[in-house]
């Protein structure tokens, strides 16, 4: 099992190429099920999660080839309408094959998903949305067995709370349902807009993506297209926080300013210097410690839960006391005890973490517990005195492409240790 070794104390200077968004790329890959024509995706990140999904899609019948960041997918015919447990358990996004399989095949059998251990993440919203579109669903022995013998039809889906995955799943199913579909209280993330843009290029009729109300008119057939995956806003925020914490001057190439405005607001208040340039976003931190700043995670366009752990790492060495409130997932402070092993002062109180900044963290052996927590430990390691060894980095490999290389190119003393 690989580990990452970091010797802290170096500033970061240079440029970082921002990869395509993992959370968008996975749903875009699933869209191949909806057409027998080629789907070409560029700016595709090479991650453990994209490789997991490639294996599942190939099992279902997709032909997939990749050159650099260009992936071509074509599902000329379906070999199977079953997504077995062994192929779905490693990643929740695999569950989103259910709707497209129903739309194209009229039936599907998909294992209930696995994924990060960051609290209850039920799929009931996904299933209720599909039922609103005419699916007949049964749960049996850990599998969802779904049928739409007369095809899916348009319907009204009102989400009781905002869910990115359920919104994307409903979109993927509704684009080929007969009639009109209305999604209310839909997620508004840039990844939703990216998926809609790709589906529209394939021939879908979608209005309102990026707002709380999405209207979809089903079509009989979708074609192929070529689409560039949107730059990853979570990776953008992660490197921005790394620079703000460790100090330095880095250009985040191709990053999109408007996708992270909640973070820019908090980082500016904390003392980082941010500028939107033609080539991306420049982050500078030359004036010593950041100032303690509070955050509360909210659905987009609020502060993203996927950047909460990284922000906490930054606040561990900030001047003053900050309050970090997590409102999305109930078990997303698992990184806090690992940060405390490095000398952080964190008081956990339910869904709040009270962080009192210290002047210096100390390197220590720590363990990644989920995808975003793992990279928060990387940020802590960059500023810690001595050596930090991070174990279980397979979590990190699910969502960050070439992280050690990108940081090393900016001056970090970081390497992967094979075991």
Residue ranges at the known binding site for UDP-N-acetyl-alpha-D-glucosamine: 92, 121-125, 306, 328
> How many angstroms separate the CA atoms of 219 and 205, rounded?
7
Please state the length of the chain. 419
- Concerning whether 198 is annotated as a catalytic residue, the answer is no
Q: Which of 116, 198, 316, 410 is catalytic?
A: 116
> How many angstroms separate the CA atoms of 56 and 88, rounded?
8
Known binding-site residues for phosphoenolpyruvate equal 22-23
Q: Between β-strands 321-325 and 295-296, what pairing exists: parallel, antiparallel or unpaired?
A: parallel
From the list 367, 369, 294, the residue with the least C-alpha distance to 326 is 294
Q: Between β-strands 156-158 and 136-140, what pairing exists: parallel, antiparallel or unpaired?
A: unpaired
Catalytic residues: 116
């Amino acid at each position: 099992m690989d580990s990452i070794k970091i010797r802290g104390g170096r500033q970061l200077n240079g440029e970082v190429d921002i990869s395509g968004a993992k959370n968008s790329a996975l749903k875009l890959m699933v869209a191949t099920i909806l057409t027998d024509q080629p789907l070409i995706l560029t700016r595709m990140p090479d991650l453990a999660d994209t490789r997991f999904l490639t294996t599942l899609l190939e099992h279902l019948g997709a032909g997939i080839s990749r050159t650099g960041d260009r992936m071509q997918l074509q599902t000329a015919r379906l070999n199977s309408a079953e997504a077995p447990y062994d192929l779905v358990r490693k990643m929740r996004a695999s569950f989103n094959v259910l709707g497209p399989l129903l739309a194209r095949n009229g039936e599907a059998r998909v294992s209930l998903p696995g994924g990060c251990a960051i609290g209850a993440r039920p799929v009931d919203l996904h299933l209720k949305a599909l039922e609103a579109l005419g699916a007949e669903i049964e749960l049996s022995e850990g599998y969802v067995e779904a049928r739409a013998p007369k095809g899916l039809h348009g319907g009204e889906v009102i989400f009781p709370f905002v869910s990115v995955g359920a919104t994307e799943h409903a979109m993927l199913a509704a684009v080929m349902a007969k009639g009109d579909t209305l999604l209310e209280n839909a997620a508004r993330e840039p990844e939703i807009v990216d998926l809609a843009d790709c589906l529209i290029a394939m021939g879908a009729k979608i209005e309102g993506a990026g707002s709380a109300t999405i209207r979809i008119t089903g079509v009989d057939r979708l074609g192929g297209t070529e689409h560039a995956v949107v730059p990853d806003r979570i990776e953008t925020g992660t490197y921005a926080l790394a620079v703000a914490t460790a100090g330095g001057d880095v250009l985040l190439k191709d990053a999109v300013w408007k996708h992270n405005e909640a973070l820019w607001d908090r980082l500016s208040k904390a003392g980082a210097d941010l500028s939107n340039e033609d080539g991306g976003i420049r982050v500078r931190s030359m004036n010593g410690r950041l100032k303690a700043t509070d955050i509360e995670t909210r659905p987009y366009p609020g502060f993203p839960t996927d950047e909460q752990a990284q922000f906490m790492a930054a606040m561990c060495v900030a001047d003053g006391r900050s309050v970090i409130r997590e409102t999305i997932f109930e078990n997303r402070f698992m990184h806090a005890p690992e940060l405390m092993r490095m000398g952080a002062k964190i008081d956990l109180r339910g869904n709040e973490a009270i962080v009192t900044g210290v002047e210096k963290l100390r390197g220590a052996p720590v363990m990644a517990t989920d995808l975003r927590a793992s990279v928060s430990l990387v940020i802590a390691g960059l500023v810690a005195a001595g050596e930090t060894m991070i174990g279980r980095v397979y979590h990190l490999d699910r969502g960050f492409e070439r992280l050690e290389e990108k940081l090393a190119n900016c001056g970090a003393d970081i390497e992967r240790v094979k075991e």
